[in-house]
């Protein structure tokens, strides 16, 4: 099992014990184990019993449970609590923002044991008199349940891509004489997918094994290109091109026959791509190799897993010219946000590292919380010392469109704001995000020279790619940012690029595709 899987087992154990009203000290120990284990770099499976017991937050009892998971894939204590819990309640625990204590109340007082029963109780207005609930909480829960039901059996592209590519490689090795390709939403690199789709020349001898649903299409060699264009999907016009031409072994021949340039699969969801193709104005899509630096990363100064030095060295080892370090600001107490004295300490360390690592550069940034009234999270003298500022909402996120839009625009109008971070705060498949008037927000960014982040974390991918064409039309730069809380988090840039390409972003419109000198000019710095 991976460290993440092991850590999540302890998280679930803590939740189930809380659901059953068990010893709070034991619950806290398992919750602490979850927080510590998920941050581990070294595989837990490679550690001895003594090494496990010596870890912070891990003693003999927890180390024994880790060993169970590593050796058997199961933990006896967790399995016992699962057996005591109605299966439907395990699913209710997955609903974002509905914790074990509230679920216990629903279970004990109303006999609710499933998502369906809970939604029925909400619709019947049965929660308003329960302790800890009320009309407002009930309505909020209704929205969360409807969102949860609408996203079941769906997966983040980032969770599926690796398995899809591995499956493709296995099948090609097993069937060397047959052409096999990915198709459907996985080929279009959709943010969210429901299955892995394959196009196979001929047939498969048996259904492929995968932890994700797999759908197999078949075609002959002579019409493989036609079938690939049809099954890849996207805007209806691409399927029409496939059906209006003679069956073809290659997709590119079908585009040529229709008098169109080849349209990359990622663009085929984008309505603008139809006009771009018809007018021979397809953008040259941004590629990972175009990116020159990272402009959103956290260190151990706030809630990151690695030190500032470790993050800088890793970014440099990946070939980047610069790293914008953006730890959380002081109001983010839950993330160990930086008070002014710690800001000053970090600046001093950055100066020393820049002298040592030149020509690689660390930019002094901050991810400043946008406060409830739209202000940034420091006094003017501290704000003036940062070389760039990402302004993001992290608290009080239950806002209507008018409030959310007004709050973002107030931060955009601040003269020190450089980048608007994850503009809707969404978490794909977990939280819809607050509603905003995208056009007003983008127009404000255009008026004040503020870039917009495309947060590359596959759970966010926010700004949504559908707004990239409008942003670029208005001259707003997009910054593909990893929001990295560890060295490995920098690899999420891949998913940000996939989403940016869907929106038709080119390197010319990407802030961090600029080299060190150009970004320095944007930040109004003199770099030597």
426-438 residue pLDDT tens: 989 888 899 999 9
Name which of 300, 419, 415 is nearest 368 in CA terms.
Answer: 419
Give the contacts of 38 (CB within 8 A, at least 6 positions apart): 3, 4, 7, 8
Sign of torsion, CA 469 470 472 473?
A: positive
Q: What is the pLDDT of residue 42?
A: 83
Cα(480)–Cα(295) distance, integer angstroms: 8
Residue with token string 């923002």: 97
Binning pLDDT at 50, 70 and 90, where does residue 39 land?
confident
**Residue 325 β-bridge partners:** 297, 364
Question: What's the pLDDT at 350?
Answer: 98
Contact by Cβ (8 Å): 95, 115: yes
- How long a stretch of residues is the chain? 528
Residue 519: exposure state from Cβ atoms within 10 A (0-12, 13-18, ≥19): buried
Q: For residues 514 and 491, give the distance between their C-alpha atoms in angstroms, rounded to a whole number.
A: 19
Helix (H, G, I), strand (E, B) or coil at 33: helix
- Cβ-based burial of 356 (10 A; exposed 0-12, middle 13-18, buried ≥19): exposed
Band (pLDDT 50/70/90 cuts) for residue 41 is: confident
Does 379 have pLDDT greater than 90? yes
* Lowest mean per-residue pLDDT among 9-18, 32-41, 61-70, 380-389: 32-41
Give the global pTM: 0.85
What does the block give as tokens for 312? 């800088």
According to the model, what pLDDT value does residue 128 have?
A: 81
Whether 100 and 15 have beta carbons less than 8 Å apart is answered as yes
Q: List the one residue out of 147, 144, 219, 152 whose CA is nearest residue 183.
A: 219
Structure tokens at 89: 């309640």
Neighbours of 210 (CB within 10 A): 16
Task: Please state, rounded to an integer, the average pLDDT across all residues of the chain.
Answer: 93
Q: What is the DSSP string of 294-307?
A: EEEE--TTTT-SS-
Q: Three-state DSSP class for 453?
A: strand
**Who wins on pLDDT, 474 or 37?**
474
Predicted confidence at residue 527, as pLDDT, reads 59
Give strand ranges (E) for 236-382: 293-297, 322-325, 361-369
Mean pLDDT of 461-475: 98
Compute the distance between CA of residue 15 and CA of residue 245 in angstroms, rounded to an integer. Answer: 57
Within 10 angstroms of residue 399's Cβ, the number of other Cβ atoms is 18
Residue 528 has pLDDT above 60, yes or no: no
147-159: per-residue pLDDT in tens? Answer: 888 888 899 999 9
Kindly state the average pLDDT of the residues 318-335.
95
pLDDT recorded at residue 100: 94
Over residues 21-50, the mean pLDDT reads 88
Confidence at 526, pLDDT banded by 50, 70, 90: low
pLDDT at 432: 86
Cα end-to-end distance, the chain, whole Å: 48
Report which of 477, 481, 482, 467 is spatially closest to residue 518, judged by C-alpha positions. Answer: 477
Peptide bond into 359 cis (omega under 30): yes
Residue 153's pLDDT is 87
On the question of pLDDT at 258 being above 60, the answer is: yes
Task: Give me the pLDDT at residue 157, please.
Answer: 96
Neighbours of 211 (CB within 10 A): 11
Burial per residue of 62-84, b for 16 or more beta-carbon CB atoms within 10 angstroms, e otherwise? bbebbbbbbeeeebebbeebeee
Query: Which pLDDT tens digit goes with each residue over 143-196?
Result: 888 888 888 889 999 999 999 999 999 999 999 999 999 999 999 999 999 999
Q: Which helix (H) or strand (E) holds 462?
A: none
Token output for 81: 């609590």
**CB-based contacts of 244: which residues, under 8 Å, 6+ apart?**
258
Between CA 118 and CA 495 the distance in angstroms is 35
The mean pLDDT value for 330-348 works out to: 95
Angle at 292 between CA 289 and CA 295, to 5 degrees: 125
* Exposed / middle / buried, residue 25 (Cβ in 10 Å: 0-12, 13-18, 19+): exposed
Q: Give me the mean pLDDT over the 323-350 stretch.
A: 96
- What is the pLDDT averaged over residues 74-92? 93
385 phi, psi to nearest 5 deg = -85, -15
Bridge partners, 368 (sequence order): 391
């Amino acid at each position: 099992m991976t460290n993440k899987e092991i850590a999540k087992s302890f998280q679930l154990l803590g939740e189930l014990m809380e659901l059953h009203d068990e010893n709070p000290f034991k619950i806290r120990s398992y919750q602490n184990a979850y927080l510590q284990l998920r941050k581990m770099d070294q595989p837990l499976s490679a550690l001895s019993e003594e090494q496990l017991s010596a870890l912070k937050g891990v003693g003999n009892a927890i180390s024994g449970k880790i060993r169970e998971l590593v050796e058997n894939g199961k933990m006896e204590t967790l399995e016992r609590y699962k057996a005591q819990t109605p299966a439907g309640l395990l699913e209710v625990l997955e609903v974002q923002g509905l914790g074990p204590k509230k679920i216990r109340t629903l279970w004990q007082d109303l006999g609710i044991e499933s998502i369906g029963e809970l939604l029925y109780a909400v619709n019947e207005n049965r929660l308003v008199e329960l302790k800890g609930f009320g009309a407002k909480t009930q309505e909020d829960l209704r929205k969360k349940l409807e969102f949860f039901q609408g996203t079941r059996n769906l997966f983040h592209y980032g969770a599926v891509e690796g398995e899809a590519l591995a499956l493709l490689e296995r099948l090609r090795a097993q069937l060397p004489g047959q052409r096999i390709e990915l198709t459907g939403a996985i080929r279009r690199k959709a943010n969210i997918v429901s299955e892995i789709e394959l196009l196979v020349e001929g047939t498969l001898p048996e259904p492929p094994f995968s932890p994700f649903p797999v759908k197999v299409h078949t075609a002959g060699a002579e019409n493989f290109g036609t079938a690939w264009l049809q099954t890849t999907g996207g805007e209806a016009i691409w399927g029409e091109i496939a059906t209006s031409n003679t069956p073809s072994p290659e997709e590119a021949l079908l585009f040529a026959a229709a008098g169109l340039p080849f349209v990359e699969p990622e663009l085929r969801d984008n309505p603008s791509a139809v006009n771009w193709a018809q007018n021979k104005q397809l953008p040259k899509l941004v590629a990972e190799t175009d990116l020159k630096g990272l402009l959103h990363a956290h260190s151990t100064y706030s809630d990151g897993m690695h030190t500032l030095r470790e993050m800088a060295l890793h970014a440099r080892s990946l070939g980047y010219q610069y790293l914008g370090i953006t730890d959380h600001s002081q109001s983010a107490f839950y993330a160990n946000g930086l008070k002014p004295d710690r800001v000053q300490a970090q600046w001093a360390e950055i100066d020393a590292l820049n002298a040592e690592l030149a020509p690689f550069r660390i930019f002094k940034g901050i991810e400043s919380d946008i406060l409830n009234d739209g202000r940034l999270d420091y006094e003017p003298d501290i704000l003036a010392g940062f070389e760039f500022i990402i302004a993001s909402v992290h608290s009080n996120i239950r806002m209507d469109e008018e409030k959310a839009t007004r709050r973002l625009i107030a931060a955009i109008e601040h003269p020190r704001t450089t980048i608007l971070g994850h503009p809707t705060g969404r978490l794909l498949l977990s939280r819809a995000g607050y509603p905003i008037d995208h056009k007003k927000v983008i127009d404000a960014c255009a008026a004040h020279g503020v870039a917009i982040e495309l947060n590359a974390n596959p759970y966010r991918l926010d700004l949504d790619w559908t707004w990239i064409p409008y942003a670029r039309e208005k001259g707003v730069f997009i910054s593909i940012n990893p929001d990295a809380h560890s060295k490995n988090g920098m690899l999420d840039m891949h998913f940000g690029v996939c989403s940016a390409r869907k929106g038709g972003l080119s390197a010319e419109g990407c802030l961090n595709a600029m080299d060190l000198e150009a970004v320095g000019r944007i930040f109004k710095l003199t770099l030597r």
